[in-house]
Amino acid sequence: MGTSAITHEARFIADALTAEADAVQRLAARVATGGTEAIAFVQTLDLLERCDGSLIVCGMGKSGLVGAKISATFASLGQPSLWVHPSEALHGDLGRIRRGDMALLLSYSGETEEVVSLANLLKADGVPRVSITKSDASSVAKACDCSVALGDIEEACPLNLAPTASTTAMLAVGDALALALARRRDFKADDFHRMHPGGMLGAGLRPVLEAVRFRVGRNLPCVASTGTLAEALKLAGEARRAGALMVVDADGRLVGLVTDGDVRRLVNAKGAAALTTPLVECMTRHPRTLPADALVRDAVRLVRELRVDELPVVDGDGKPLGLLDIQDLVAMKVVRD
């Protein structure tokens, strides 16, 4: 493909991205004014905050696919949520909806037959209902307690056919509602960790001490700052497996770190005489440390920022508890070797 053809394709793609971004930005601008759209958001959040059960999300076609993602976002941020297909709901899956649940109904046109029917059935059953539609004058919106109106949106798709910009805006609204609800409920990192025990998100929210293999008093000796390199290596003995020596003062506080790299450079420079070097002359003084309550994500940030392979973990008095090795993070798959 020639350069001119690539440029033409790139411009088309850029226009499509701009159209989708514009749909979200225009809606955000209307909400920011504090007008009708802002009121609808707040009323919806009020209903969501009172929900004692699950949030049932429903939508047909592309809106249904967006709904599945919105449901997953709410669930990951502490609000139990299920996605239910509107047609299946009308053929038995209404049994999934219990007292205390709430429904979020998605239909850009607001006239999708299955969603309209479901909205009216849920209204008759007294289930609280919120919709995300084009207009609060639509049939779905009229059957709901609250409706977030997206407004007129020109699709990124040529001829304004396939849902593109409208589904992007719908997804953004769902995400914004989930985030705002989590903020109202003071949803914290610990809460998020309980919802995400696996994968990189879960690993990053684990306490760093859970990832530390080398622990003081178990398999990691500390060496006194008054000794020489030879004395420190002898004290570490055969049990030493970590990539650094933890150097402490008379009170047991961490005052320095001597890495394997430090030892190699010193030996290369001085030969056997390097072993007689006092630790205070070859250690890195007052190295960066991690507090005992740090999370794995904090360790990842420091490793990347400092470009180091070892990080001491200390208690509130500055006494070492362990040494985090970069291989601990590699094993958790939160950094690459």
Query: How far is Cα 300 from Cα 314, in angstroms, rounded to an integer?
Result: 17
pLDDT mean over 158-170: 88
- Coil vs helix vs strand at 311: strand
- 161 sits in which H/E element: none
Asked if residues 311 and 323 have their Cβ atoms less than 8 Å apart, the reply is yes
Q: How many residues does the chain have?
A: 337
Per-residue confidence band for 168, with pLDDT thresholds at 50, 70 and 90: very high
Amino acid 63: pLDDT: 95
64: left (phi > 0), else alpha (psi -120 to 50), else beta? alpha
Q: Give whole-number Cα distances, 280 to 102, 225, 242, 257, in Å.
A: 65, 6, 20, 10
Per residue in 292-327, pLDDT (tens digit) is: 888 888 888 888 888 888 889 999 999 999 898 888
**CATH architecture for segment(s) 208-331:** Roll (3.10)
DSSP conformation letters of 105-153? EE-SSS--HHHHHHHHHHHHTT--EEEEES-TTSHHHHTSSEEEE----
Per residue in 228-254, pLDDT (tens digit) is: 888 888 877 655 567 888 899 999 999
Q: Where are the domains of the chain?
A: 3-187, 208-331
Amino acid at 228: T
| Residue position matching structure tokens 């007689």 | 276
Averaged pLDDT of the chain: 87
| CATH fold group of domain 3-187 | Rossmann fold (3.40.50)
- 197 sits in which H/E element: none
